[in-house]
Amino acid sequence: MVYLLPTGLHLGLHLVLHASLRRCLRMGLAVRFLGVLVLVVGLCALGVAPAHGQEDSPLKVAFVYLGPIGDHGWSYGHEQGRLAVQKHFGAQVETHFVEKIPEGPESERVFARLIQDGYKLIFANGYGHTRSAIRAARLDPEVRLEVATGSETSPQVALYSARFYEGRYIAGVIAGHLSQSGTAGYIASLPVPEVVRGINAFLLGMRSVNPDARLRLAWVHAWYDPPREADAARVLIGRGADILTQHTDSTAALGVAAEQGVKAFGLASDMHHFAPEIHLSSIVNLWDSYYIERVSAYLDGTWQSGRAWRGFDGGMLEMSAYHNMPAEVAEAARRVEAQIRAGDLQIFAGPLIDQAGAQRIAAGAVLDDTALLSMDWFLDGVDGSLP
């Protein structure tokens, strides 16, 4: 920690220390010198606040990624956020990333090593990194960790996420217009509330256009597993899906869709150039402004724990350009996005009926964030179950 002293006091203390050191060395009085040194350090600390000035070493900020930055999706998007932080703050920060860190005990070891190496602010992008982050944070009271899509907070651990389901609803609207069979396929990763919300939101978007639309699921039990994602795409197409969407991180499903002439959506970043002939749009995550905001908060001492959950109107989400669809369908998607941004369209508005025929929310009511964050049921019209 660096302390700033008035120039005169700094010079005076320097002279006292220098003179005392010479006397102590001549007389062999190490104890006397130590006493003077303690006095000097005490004077330096009196009434002087820590400062993050040019003389400080940079704030060390680490990013821990669930997948590889070359996934062209989830971790790639967060890596763009890290680069934005480094560019924005320059020499004030030193950033570092670690990729392909699974959820579980290994992530706790990674967090602990980063803390030992002096990193004071750590961002992790795996839902299952949360518990490891909370345990690791106890190693250093000055450390702060943030987990994307995580499950719980602590005084040292915050959560942040985008309202991805807003984009999935729009993708569903497009699918409702374009699907000739009335059946879309959804490549699902893991059975957590974020994924369940996305599945239900996509179906609601489809049914806003086609009330009889259905959505078929294929679980891959991983966030990033290109071979399984490709296999899931083939299974869904074989079961009659003529539109594909995904909650997984690679471009593998788009490749299969292109091979078989089925239109599809990308995820997390704009994936158009991977399958330009069939790609409809991507739900793009934007992390730059959030990361810059939170690094600033740590630097100026205003960082607080909590949960940030922002959608189109909060700058964390956008739809990439619309391709391979009639102009009127693209315009319909833009209108829906404008309604969501303005708060004029509530996606999870009642009546909502689940697969068992039970009413989850009545007409005129809207599911609140607490219900959305714990969602563990599927709407009628979803062909699939929670594993």
Q: Name residue, tokens 């239109």.
A: 263
For residues 33 and 91, state if they share a domain: no
Q: Looking at the structure, tell me whether residues 299 and 199 fall in a common domain.
A: no
Domain that holds residue 344: 164-277+324-383
The token pair that represents 68 in the structure block:
């590889």
Q: Please answer whether residues 159 and 339 qualify as being in contact, where contact means their C-beta atoms are separated by less than 8 angstroms.
A: no
Structure-block tokens of residue 162: 């985008």
Is residue 151 situated within a structural domain? yes
Please choose, from the candidates 200, 127, 209, the residue with its C-alpha nearest in 3D space to the C-alpha of residue 168: 200
Q: Is residue 365 part of a domain?
A: yes
Task: Give residues with Cβ within 8 angstroms of 94, minimum separation 6.
Answer: 58, 59, 60, 61
Asked if the structure places residue 52 within a domain, the reply is no
Instruction: Answer whether residue 226 is part of any domain.
Output: yes
- Examine the domain organization and report whether 94 and 26 are in the same domain: no
Determine whether 277 is exposed, middle or buried from the number of CB atoms within 10 Å of its CB (0-12, 13-18, 19+): exposed
Looking at the fold, whether 212 and 334 belong to one and the same domain comes out as yes
> Residue 45: what pLDDT?
35
Query: 268 and 202: one domain?
Result: yes
The tokens describing 308, both together, are 């940030």
Task: Classify residue 105: in a domain, yes or no.
Answer: yes
Strands 317-319 and 263-268: unpaired
List of residues 6+ apart from 189 with CB closer than 8 A: 195, 219, 220, 221, 222, 223, 247, 248, 249
Q: Using CA atoms in the order 145, 297, 75, 253, what is the torsion angle rounded to 10 degrees?
A: 110
In a domain, residue 315? The reply is no
Which pLDDT tens digits describe the chain residue by residue (387 residues)? 333 333 333 433 343 334 443 443 333 433 333 343 333 334 333 333 233 444 579 999 999 999 999 999 999 999 999 999 999 999 999 999 999 999 988 999 999 999 999 999 999 999 999 999 999 999 999 999 999 999 999 999 999 999 999 999 999 999 999 999 999 999 999 999 999 999 999 999 999 999 999 999 999 999 999 999 999 999 999 999 999 999 999 999 999 999 999 999 999 999 999 999 999 999 999 999 999 999 999 999 999 999 999 999 999 999 999 999 999 999 999 999 999 999 999 999 999 999 999 999 999 999 999 999 999 999 999 999 999
Residue 283 covered by a domain: no
**What is the domain count for the chain?**
3
8 Å CB contact between 262 and 240 = no
> Do 254 and 157 fall within a single domain?
no
**Are residues 67 and 180 part of one domain?**
no
243 and 348: one domain?
A: yes
> What CA–CA distance (Å, rounded) separates 78 from 69?
8
Q: What is the pTM of this model?
A: 0.85
Residues 146 and 103 in one domain: yes
Token pair 């497009």 is found at 174
Considering the domain architecture, whether residues 203 and 232 belong to the same structural domain is answered as yes
The three-state secondary structure class of 292 is helix
Based on the domain organization, do 306 and 264 belong to the same domain? no
Q: Domain with 228 in it: what CATH number?
A: 3.40.50.2300
Q: Give yes or no: residues 364 and 243 share one domain.
A: yes
Indicate whether 317 belongs to any domain. Answer: no
C-alpha–C-alpha distance, residues 387 and 220, integer Å = 11
